[in-house]
């Protein structure tokens, strides 16, 4: 009798492309993707800078802890074809440096473009804000903070007498503090002078733009205040808190980094740096109702419900879907897709989570489109990932 041996299924593997859309015409591939502070105005410097930000600013370490959670790759014949097609279109048309799709318990796609590697630490930009929000939950669960309705100045008395007086943690979490954004006034003294974060924030908090809770207005100041509260109650810099309470519990494969000011203080609202697969592990923590791969509750289920806007308080104005096409929750965005949230960073950084299909998509990018770069291609991809 003749015995036939079944061929082993072909498994998805990371794909590494040396180039990408507009690599030479826009992103200076022939110059080796150079690194410079000029990235904000000149896209030539974005690809190189966004995976090498530690060459421009000092960093603190967010330490991992063994063992690593070994992620599993799907069989190629099990990949969702529509999601894969839309992902390929996005990769062909957008300046995506890395893309990972997790679905049905496995990695279904992992691609790096423009010569980027899977060991690179990619800048999160404002995806960092979602992490800063998670630390407030950890502090509440550890009874270091009473609840989100506590006054901010109860924890940061240095802000008493400023417009933060009477504002609650909830207002900072939902970007409804009413204290205006001043990017240049916040970051320039921190990057290029030996300025103290608290002093800078106090100096920028003298004018009320609107009453607290009245209006949504995106502001790094709100997130900085949350970060300062966490540092105060934990008695440690933010990078150390992230390491102790989150990073060492998600099976991260690499230490991450947090950028610091010129004086060595941690930046609290932007540019945590990590490998893309570790961003995926963070997204999986959210997708799994705050439990890690070993079943330990790291973030409370109540906080995860709030992240997805599933509380009455976050359903109405000024942040809920009843008054905004794109809603907002606790330092996270809610696109007009059911059971879906996203940590989003400038220039097209995403950790997107669909609860409906337990899908997580990580994208790092050098997209210079204005605002949050709501590209139609990505919305098509996210919607497909959220459908069965």
| Predicted confidence (pLDDT) per residue in 176-215, tens digit | 999 977 888 898 998 888 889 999 999 988 778 899 999 9
pLDDT tens, residue by residue, 20-50:
999 999 999 999 999 999 999 999 999 999 9
For the chain, what is the mean pLDDT?
94
pLDDT above 60 for 374: no
Are 351 and 342 spatial neighbours (Cβ–Cβ below 8 Å)? yes
Residue 356 lies in a domain: yes
Q: What token pair was written down for 123?
A: 């800048």
As a whole number, mean pLDDT of residues 307-336 equals 93
As a whole number, mean pLDDT of residues 66-82 equals 97
Residue 315 lies in a domain: yes
Maximum distance among all alpha carbons in the chain? 89
Residue 379 lies in a domain: yes
Among 264-268, 315-319, 329-333, 370-374, the least confident range: 370-374
Residue 10 lies in a domain: no
Task: State the residue range of the domain holding 275.
Answer: 15-385
Question: How many CA atoms are closer than 13 Å to the CA of 103, on its beta-carbon side?
Answer: 27
pLDDT above 80 for 293: yes
Domain with 375 in it: what CATH number? 3.40.710.10
Q: What token pair was written down for 12?
A: 């998805």
Rounded to an integer, what distance in angstroms lies between the CA atom of residue 137 and that of residue 234? Answer: 12
Q: What is the pLDDT of residue 323?
A: 86
Q: What is the pLDDT of residue 208?
A: 81
Rounded to an integer, what distance in angstroms lies between the CA atom of residue 43 and that of residue 94? Answer: 13
For the beta sheet containing 96-103, the strands, ordered from the edge strand earlier in sequence to the opposite edge, are 15-16, 106-112, 96-103, 359-365, 349-354, 340-345, 333-334, 327-328
Residue 1 lies in a domain: no
Rounded to an integer, what distance in angstroms lies between the CA atom of residue 101 and that of residue 359? Answer: 7
Domains of the chain: total? 1
Residue 9 lies in a domain: no
Residue 247 lies in a domain: yes
pTM over 0.85: yes
pLDDT tens, residue by residue, 93-133:
999 999 999 999 999 999 999 999 999 999 999 999 999 99
Are 101 and 350 spatial neighbours (Cβ–Cβ below 8 Å)? no
pLDDT above 70 for 274: yes
Q: Which of 340, 204, 222, 382 lies closest to 327 in space, CA to CA? A: 340
Residue 228 lies in a domain: yes
């Amino acid at each position: 009798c003749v015995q036939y041996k079944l061929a082993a299924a072909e498994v998805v593997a990371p794909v590494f492309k040396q180039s990408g859309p507009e690599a030479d015409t826009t992103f200076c591939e022939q110059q080796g993707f150079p690194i410079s502070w000029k990235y904000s105005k000149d896209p030539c410097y974005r690809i190189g800078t966004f995976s090498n930000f530690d060459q421009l600013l000092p960093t603190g370490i967010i330490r991992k802890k063994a063992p690593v959670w070994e992620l599993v790759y799907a069989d190629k014949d099990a990949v969702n074809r529509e999601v894969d097609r839309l992902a390929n279109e996005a990769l062909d048309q957008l300046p995506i440096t890395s893309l990972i799709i997790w679905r049905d318990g496995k990695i279904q796609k992992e691609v790096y473009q423009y010569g980027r590697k899977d060991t690179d630490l990619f800048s999160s930009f404002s995806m960092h804000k979602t992490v800063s929000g998670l630390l407030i939950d950890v502090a509440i669960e550890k009874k270091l903070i009473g609840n989100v309705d506590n006054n901010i100045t109860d924890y940061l008395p240095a802000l008493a007498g400023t417009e933060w007086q009477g504002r609650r943690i909830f207002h900072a979490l939902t970007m409804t503090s009413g204290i205006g954004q001043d990017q240049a006034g916040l970051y320039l003294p921190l990057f290029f002078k030996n300025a103290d974060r608290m002093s800078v924030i106090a100096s920028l908090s003298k004018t009320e733009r609107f009453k607290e809770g009245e209006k949504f207005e995106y502001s790094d100041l709100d997130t900085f205040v949350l970060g300062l509260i966490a540092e105060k109650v934990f008695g440690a810099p933010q990078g150390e808190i992230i390491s102790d309470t989150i990073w060492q519990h998600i099976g991260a494969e690499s230490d991450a980094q947090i950028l610091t000011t010129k004086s060595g203080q941690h930046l609290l609202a932007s540019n945590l740096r990590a490998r893309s697969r570790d961003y995926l592990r963070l997204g999986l923590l959210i997708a799994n109702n705050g439990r890690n791969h070993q079943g330990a509750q790291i973030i409370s289920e109540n906080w995860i419900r709030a992240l997805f806007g599933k509380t009455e308080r976050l359903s109405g104005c000024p942040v809920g879907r009843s008054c905004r096409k794109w809603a907002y929750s606790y330092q996270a965005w809610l696109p007009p897709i059911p059971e879906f949230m996203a940590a989003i960073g400038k220039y097209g950084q995403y950790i997107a989570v669909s609860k409906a299909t337990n899908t997580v998509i990580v994208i790092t990018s050098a997209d210079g489109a204005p605002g949050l770069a709501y590209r139609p291609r990505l919305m098509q991809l996210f919607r497909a990932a959220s459908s069965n």
